[in-house]
Structure 1
Amino acid sequence: MEQVNVRWYVEDVSVHSSTVAVAGLPGVGHVGKLVVDHLIRALSAVKVAEITSTLFPPQMYLSEDSVLRLPRNEIFFVPETEDHQALLFLAGDCQSTTPDGHYTLAEAYLRVFDLLNVRKVYTLGGYGVGRMVEHPRVLSALSSSKLKEEVIAAGAVINSEEPVGGIIGAAGLLITLGRLHGMDGVALLGETSGYLVDPVSSTAVLDVLEKLVHLHADRTELTDLAEQMMTDVAAATASAAGSRPPDDLSYIG
């Protein structure tokens, strides 16, 4: 098995090309993954290519028939309609297990994007803040300052001091290395606790993305997940408060 393998599922790549790609791989709070997986389903996207790699974790996945398969990331295509432009999505199971692997895989994704005529990449992810966030901000980082105005107008926050420590993994690499491929790039990171899968943060990221790519998709599934999460968190908080002894004043201060 090669280090990186790309399997195409379409014969004519040109028919499944777009100037815009949106990437949402697993990461903090699965924020980006939830958005992209939701849009793939909501827009009935077509699978274009599959990437497998020895740089992925050695964790096999089960099919519906309990047959093991390799971990994989996939490229999906949505054709242009009256409601939105043509779009490509990068989604999947995992990221690399090593620093070198992150670079190698990012270049592999960008080579695929080159073949599909991509000129602008949006990467989606989470920004862990270590606490629950009821109304998450969406932080952004750019490939060029010329993109700043449109990103702020869409509702994202640009602050050179956040995210603290920069952006790790594909969400940052695709923007930075994409610039070397002649692609503009915008990273959108939703604030999240970092402890839970966070559809509330994903919904905030989707709000900004829709404005940037002029997209409107049914979001019932994602909204339902967000409402369920808030209900579960409220119930867990109430349960914890109820189990505290009456004379426990540790919550003051």
Structure 2
Amino acid sequence: MSFKIKILKKINFNNPILIEGLPGIGNVGKITLDYIVDSLNAQAFLEIYSHKFPNSVFVNEDNLIDLPRITFYYKKIKEKEFIFLGGDVQPVDEIGSYEFCHEVLKLFKKFNGKKIITLAGIGLPKIPNNPKVYATGNSKEIMKFFNDKRINNEIFGTVGPIIGVTGLLIGLAKEYEIDAICLLSQTFGHPNYLGIKGARELLKVLDSKFKFDLDFGSLEKEIKEIEKEIKNKTQEITGFTQVKPNQEVSYIG
């Protein structure tokens, strides 16, 4: 079994748009996708399980075990149909990533899909105050489709390879005659950092384009809480580094 597809609900699609957001740099794509799915109350209709995913399990809110999976969600908004592709994992190696992307593209082709949007972060050495959004795609048509003044299309030399499902989907989509674009937002490149600010900028672009009518209130509150936590940690670290030689240091551990 390379991939096990579990259909939760059958849907007759009409030219849906696929938006992908999986774990990556700053988890920008995942945060963005999860926020949209929760805000729109999108309905899960398909799950993919695979030996290509990490050899681990997750403990859910009921204190029970879940196998790693990637989920497809559906929502129709203002006569447009959307498929949201999200989850807590990506395939663990290069071959698995290619095979998974081909599986997704075959499914999307069956769903009569024509456009794919993937979401990602650009890792920076410092936390950006005002993250910029960049875009790259597999056709000039899809780049024109996202004609937004907030998006910088001059991406050459700004980012290196776009790794994993997020990059491969837009690259391989051309083989399936599907237009695809990747939206990337700047974030802090630390593995433990949550790129909520970067996600907010992607949400603004998507909300403006597709009229999702998202409520940014809870997101802004979360940003302030994280910024406060970072500030407190920074002050603690600064305090330790400024200790004089004759001062005692109190610590546990």
Residues 22 and 88 of structure 2 are in contact (CA less than 8 Å); yes or no, is this contact kept in structure 1?
yes
Which residues of 2 match residues 12-27 of structure 1 at below 5 A?
A: 13-14=11-12, 16-27=13-24
User: Relative to 1, partners in 2 of residues 1:230 and 1:150: Cα closer, same or farther, differing over 3 Å?
Assistant: farther
Match of 1:177 in 2: 172
| Aligned counterpart for 1:191 among listed residues 180, 186, 190 | 186
Which residues of 2 match residues 119-158 of structure 1 at below 5 A?
A: 119-158=114-153
* Letter in structure 2 aligned against 1:7: K
* Secondary structure of the corresponding residue to residue 55 of structure 1: coil
Match of 1:227 in 2: 224
Residues 24 and 33 of structure 1 are in contact (CA less than 8 Å); yes or no, is this contact kept in structure 2?
yes
Which residues of 2 match residues 27-38 of structure 1 at below 5 A?
A: 27-38=24-35
Structure 1: distance between partners of 2:158 and 2:54 = 26
Structure 1: distance between partners of 2:32 and 2:185 = 11
* Secondary structure of the corresponding residue to residue 148 of structure 1: helix
Structure 1: distance between partners of 2:187 and 2:7 = 35
Structure 1: distance between partners of 2:132 and 2:151 = 7
User: Relative to 1, partners in 2 of residues 1:115 and 1:220: Cα closer, same or farther, differing over 3 Å?
Assistant: farther
User: Relative to 1, partners in 2 of residues 1:167 and 1:129: Cα closer, same or farther, differing over 3 Å?
Assistant: same
Structure 2: distance between partners of 1:86 and 1:219 = 22
Which residues of 2 match residues 50-65 of structure 1 at below 5 A?
A: 50-65=47-62
Structure 2: distance between partners of 1:5 and 1:154 = 41
Match of 2:242 in 1: 245
Q: Identify the range of structure 1 (64-73 vs 24-33) with the bigger mean alpha-carbon deviation.
A: 64-73
Deviation at 1:199, TM superposition (A): 0.6
Structure 1: distance between partners of 2:148 and 2:159 = 23
Structure 1: distance between partners of 2:243 and 2:118 = 47
Deviation at 1:17, TM superposition (A): 4.9
Residues 77 and 212 of structure 2 are in contact (CA less than 8 Å); yes or no, is this contact kept in structure 1?
no
* Secondary structure of the corresponding residue to residue 142 of structure 2: helix
Deviation at 1:159, TM superposition (A): 2.2
User: Relative to 1, partners in 2 of residues 1:117 and 1:149: Cα closer, same or farther, differing over 3 Å?
Assistant: closer
Structure 2: distance between partners of 1:99 and 1:241 = 41
Deviation at 1:112, TM superposition (A): 1.8
Deviation at 1:194, TM superposition (A): 1.8
| Aligned counterpart for 1:114 among listed residues 93, 100, 109 | 109
* Letter in structure 2 aligned against 1:169: G
* Letter in structure 2 aligned against 1:116: F
Structure 2: distance between partners of 1:128 and 1:4 = 31
User: Relative to 1, partners in 2 of residues 1:224 and 1:115: Cα closer, same or farther, differing over 3 Å?
Assistant: farther
Deviation at 1:67, TM superposition (A): 2.2
Match of 2:2 in 1: 3
| Aligned counterpart for 2:39 among listed residues 42, 65, 70 | 42
Structure 1: distance between partners of 2:157 and 2:205 = 17
Residues 142 and 187 of structure 1 are in contact (CA less than 8 Å); yes or no, is this contact kept in structure 2?
yes
Structure 1: distance between partners of 2:83 and 2:108 = 9
Match of 1:216 in 2: 213
Query: Could you state the TM-score of these two structures normalised by the residue count of structure 2?
Result: 0.88
| Aligned counterpart for 2:84 among listed residues 83, 89, 107 | 89
Residues 139 and 189 of structure 1 are in contact (CA less than 8 Å); yes or no, is this contact kept in structure 2?
yes
Residues 3 and 51 of structure 2 are in contact (CA less than 8 Å); yes or no, is this contact kept in structure 1?
yes
Deviation at 1:138, TM superposition (A): 1.0
Deviation at 1:115, TM superposition (A): 2.2
Match of 1:251 in 2: none
Structure 1: any 5+ residue segments left out of the alignment? 248-253
User: Relative to 1, partners in 2 of residues 1:221 and 1:110: Cα closer, same or farther, differing over 3 Å?
Assistant: farther
1:54-81 C-alpha deviation (Å, 9 max, x unpaired): 0001011112332222100000001234
- How many correspondences in the alignment? 243
User: Relative to 1, partners in 2 of residues 1:190 and 1:244: Cα closer, same or farther, differing over 3 Å?
Assistant: same
